[in-house]
């Protein structure tokens, strides 16, 4: 008997439902993007080092370790409520960062926000992938574009509120996330449950063993991309304020980076459905580090140009990787996606600490150059990765 997942594979792209999920992702990531804009304030107020600032990002990403567990449960149970509640939880915790009394209170709020992020990023993309039919790349582009819009608006929104209303006014921003959760409830309750029944689930261990080389290759690619993406996304405001820029300009620069990423995320996933995942990955991994090096060594208008190019290429990698990994596990999307996202977030949580340490020892400019070099090293891995390693289902 044909299972529910395969029925979905034959279905058309469900634009309205994928869009509803993506809007929730957009609102959620708007709040998650507050942290880089807050970091220069925290470093100044609490006399923190770059490494301690990077550790705050690690607190936010550490809960992602539980994503495979959430994904495994989501393949069997309806966990839409996690997606519904996520914007509200993120809104409350991240908006309170402007009134926190100390470092460990910040860490606690970031961990709570991190648990909501773990749930959303394990369940949301899997549902979006199922609703995308045979256009998984397009579905991942919708999902990633929404997240990039949120990450673009978040820093600009919070620094603008701080500039005009003061640091203590940031809790006012939580109202939008609370409203988003209410809207998501009315939207997502109409989406049918696509969980696979227990007796039709594939045995994931043999499938995972069969594609182990592919999983390791994707993890290596993700590691190199994370050095550049985490470094620039987390430390760009600190880097620019250290060079004399205002907090507002530093936040606006991060918004410019993410706006370029919106275009990259939209184009890459859709194109990868047509021309393949590998050509787009190779192009992005070549362009991103070159643009970063040129960004470091230029100034003025040219620096903005290279920031745009870097954002477009750097962020275009993620929709392609997400489509590729879901394509490899068509019968257990949530488990596969949760495992992949857990690896992604854990890698990034460690990397931001390493980059913060390098910034303290070598300066952030040199730390960025090291990140660019690491990304280029990954090209041979991309070229040697199998193009279409589908894991065949093994029915219990």
DSSP, collapsed to helix, strand or coil, labels residue 336 as helix
Domain of residue 289, residue span: 4-384
Would you say residue 396 lies in a domain?
no
Convert the pLDDT of each residue in 227-258 to its tens digit. 888 888 888 988 998 888 888 888 888 888 88
Residue 388 has a pLDDT of 57
Residue 210 pLDDT? 57
pLDDT at 180 over 70: yes
> Which string of b and e fits 323-357 if b means at least 16 CB within 10 Å?
bbbbbbbbbbbbbbbbbbbbbbbbbbbbbbbbbbb
Residue 182 inside a domain? The answer is yes
Q: What are the tokens at 93?
A: 């915790």
Does the residue 394 lie in any domain? no
- Where residue 277 sits, what CATH number does that domain have? 1.20.1250.20
Residue 45 CA to residue 218 CA, distance in Å, equals 39
Rounded CA separation 361/37 (Å):
22
**pLDDT tens track for 75-129:** 667 778 898 999 999 999 999 999 999 999 999 999 999 999 988 988 888 778 7
Specify the 3-state DSSP secondary structure of 202.
strand
Locate 161 and state its tokens: 């509120």
pLDDT, one tens digit per residue, over 329-383 is 666 666 666 677 777 777 777 888 889 899 999 999 999 999 999 998 888 888 8
In a domain, 212, yes or no: yes
Q: Is residue 276 part of a domain?
A: yes
Where do the DSSP E strands lie in the chain?
none
390 falls within a domain: no
d(CA 55, CA 2): 47
Band of pLDDT at residue 394, cut at 50, 70 and 90: very low
247-271 burial, b at 16+ Cβ within 10 Å, e below that, comes to bbebbbbbbbbbbbbbbbbbbbbbb
Considering the domain boundaries, does residue 318 fall inside one? yes
- Specify if 393 maps to a domain: no
Q: What is the pLDDT of residues 182-193, one digit of tens each?
A: 888 887 776 665
Query: In sequence order, which ranges of 96-194 are alpha helices (DSSP H)?
Result: 103-130, 136-165, 174-188
Q: Are 254 and 333 in contact (CB under 8 A)?
A: no
CA-nearest of 131, 34, 27, 130 to 87 is 27
Per the structure, how many domains does the chain have?
1
Rounded to whole angstroms, the Cα distance separating 161 from 46 reads 21
């Amino acid at each position: 008997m044909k299972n529910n997942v395969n029925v979905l594979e034959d279905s058309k792209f469900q634009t309205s439902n994928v869009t509803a999920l993506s809007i929730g992702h957009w609102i959620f990531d708007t709040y998650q993007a507050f942290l880089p804009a807050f970091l220069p304030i925290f470093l100044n107020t609490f006399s923190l080092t770059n490494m301690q600032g990077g550790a705050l990002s690690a607190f936010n990403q550490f809960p992602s370790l539980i994503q495979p567990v959430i994904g495994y449960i989501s393949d069997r149970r309806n966990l839409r409520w996690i997606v519904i509640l996520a914007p509200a939880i993120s809104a409350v915790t991240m908006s309170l960062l402007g009134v926190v009394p100390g470092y460990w209170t910040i860490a606690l709020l970031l961990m709570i926000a991190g648990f909501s992020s773990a749930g959303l990023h394990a369940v949301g993309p899997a549902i979006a992938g199922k609703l995308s039919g045979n256009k998984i790349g397009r579905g991942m582009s919708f999902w990633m574009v929404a997240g990039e819009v949120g990450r673009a608006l978040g820093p600009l929104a919070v620094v603008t509120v701080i500039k005009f209303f003061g640091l203590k006014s940031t809790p006012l921003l939580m109202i939008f996330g609370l409203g988003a959760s209410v809207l998501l409830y009315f939207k997502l309750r109409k989406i049918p449950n696509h969980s696979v029944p227990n007796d039709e689930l594939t045995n994931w261990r043999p499938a995972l063993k069969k594609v182990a080389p592919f999983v390791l290759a994707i993890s290596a690619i993700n590691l190199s991309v994370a050095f550049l993406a985490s470094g620039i996304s987390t430390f760009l405001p600190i880097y620019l304020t250290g060079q004399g820029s205002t907090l507002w300009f530093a936040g606006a620069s991060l918004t410019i980076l993410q706006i370029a990423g919106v275009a990259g995320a939209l184009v890459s996933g859709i194109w990868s459905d047509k021309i393949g995942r590998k050509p787009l990955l190779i192009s992005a991994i070549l362009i991103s580090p070159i643009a970063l090096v040129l960004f470091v060594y230029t100034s003025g208008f040219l620096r903005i140009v290279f920031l745009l190019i870097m954002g477009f290429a750097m962020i275009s990698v993620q929709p392609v990787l997400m489509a590729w990994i879901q394509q490899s596990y068509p019968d257990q999307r949530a488990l596969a996606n949760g495992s992949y996202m857990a690896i992604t977030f854990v890698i990034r949580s460690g990397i931001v600490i390493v980059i913060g340490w390098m910034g303290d020892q070598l300066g952030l400019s040199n730390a960025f150059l090291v990140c660019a070099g690491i990304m280029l090293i990954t090209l041979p891995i991309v070229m040697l990765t199998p193009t279409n390693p589908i894991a065949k289902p093994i029915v219990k």
